[in-house]
Structure 1
């Protein structure tokens, strides 16, 4: 409401010539008010044509002009009201805002900065600055706290020129002095040129952001897929093991019941025999008492009459022979438990083989030049020099080879061999050494590889030059290798109709892992399919 009344008042007190608020108001005889400069200017130029002069009458002689004091006071109040309204429309500077350099006390937020005065102004002081410097060309910019950076520290002039030779901003004095004959352009022109480059850089950056977002979404989807697959596997495993536990519990109950039944039958027989024995003892004690009494009787006739019946020893029909074994056998129950354990172990090992089997092929670009690969690069033998191409990853000292594929997650594979020399069945990082004649590049002699070395049934485990002696295995035989990469588990098995653990090691794998081999002449190695 206050603003509306001010606008109406301003329209009513506008000069009919310049249509702005009357400055130094004068009123002529017709009653209209004008700016002193406007009315005198019109009379001086005799310019009284057009609609805005329709109320301006021609006076001869020209009347004297006196200042309209009352109107001037009203106009001053109107200006103050307008100034106060403009100030109320402003807001105080908050933390992080540019403050007006002219305000005292609590400062208002700056909206403009002068590159000549090197000051920032709120709305009110900006208007005063414009009034005070009207007619002067002060360069203004949006409020900034970097005014000093825009001024030449040497000449205290505005940096408005860019030197392409030295690639930095200079002022006019710099351009005619130390940057004379340099390739210089206006800062605005250089900004236009560099902005094109910056926009292209931004476009590429935004494109990379989109690509990264796409990769991020794909990775998140992959993670969710992993989680769903893992959850499904866990649920399936839980279901299988729950059924297995129930089956074991049922078998345990059955075995326990079998043992208890055998116990009950044996104890029942023993208790019957105990009763017969106890009864026999009681009969013998009674007979013994009768004999004792007869021995001490004084009646000869009674003695002789009773002697015939008491002098005969008890017969076998009176006291049958009783046989009780002190070693009762529960072999049937024990055998059932043993069979169940063997079946469970066999099941678990077969599941390891079936669920984690990975098919590997040997890499001809890495194999030693005397190693011959055949049958789809799944058979390795020592032979004549092979026509392999030169390759920077080839083994040049030892007869070693790596597979092309790396171990992924949980992996199982089986290896067999022929011959009666030495070989190593190993896993290795691809970063293992290739050249030189020192042991550190041999499988198991460094911290890049883990090796099971076999020779005529004797097995040793090697890693980083350290050796662990292991139990002997039949020669030749089939070896199963199991790796759980994330858990850091490496296991070697002797494989027949069952799997027997040879050695297991726990470590932390830090690089992709590859099946690897080292063989002596006369040895042939085969990667088996299940």
Structure 2
């Protein structure tokens, strides 16, 4: 199926008033077609108030009701898109790596600037009048644009050169006369200048915050290093002290065992000496008992009197051996009780030390909420499309470090 561009020429889609492709085309009773905005402005500008066709001059007693001709509108849109695609393909084929000049005929040269007023891209040669002629110097030149579709009004197919601050959108001149007539409309240059000023201030604030955050990072890293060094030193000192404590305990334990052994030997010697003496006394007592028993049984009174001692002079060995008992003050339980008491004291000291170390840690203290500037009605630029969901902002923190003591 053949396309519309292969059978119809551009003249068949041009409005005779604005000389551009139809935008919202309407058909008059006489059969001629115009842009709805163009014919409305034409009739509104006549002093007599008569409604007349600009082409055939036919006069209408009452203003016709203007309705968009959907068929012509679709054909015009299709033709506009086909022409745009064709021009872009020609530019890409003619000038590799860039846009071609719209004015060059034979050899297409690379475009260096695009005029937003003329809607034309120029090479260095054809751009010369814009740099020389005074009236053309006021035109806005930008880097070469491959497509002007994003810069055109979707409704009126006009260049976007105004900005509506109430609806926060770019509009064309026809939009400012119709839908945005009562709105606060300014030139794009004014809105761009205002937003650039906000961007410059935002950039300055960002750079200041960047420097502050870099300083905070340096402080945090330095504090972390100091904390690490202090922790390593504390660990080394703790190991050294604990090893010394263990060595001291082992040394003292050896001394305690030596004292216990020495005392045990002394007690053993005393016990052996006492046992010898008691055994001697026991032998003497047994002998005296045997003699007494023998004499007490004798019938010879002379023998009893001659060999026995007088009753008043008879003495028996009666040493008080209760005083020679073994000294058991260093018996089992003394060392255990002392060591248990030392262990309790050591554990209490260790728990207090651990609690003290736990209190010195790395803290992150959130700062107070930021204070917003007042008096500015322009929001900072955003690369994201508008959304009804609330934006979440990462909280900023103030960091402070404490090294353990």
TM-score with structure 2 length normalisation? Answer: 0.38
Normalized per residue, the structure richer in helix is 2
Q: Indicate the structure (1 or 2) with the bigger Cα radius of gyration.
A: 2
Normalized per residue, the structure richer in strand is 1
TM-score with structure 1 length normalisation? Answer: 0.31
Q: Relative contact order, CA 8 A, sep 6+: which one is greater?
A: 2
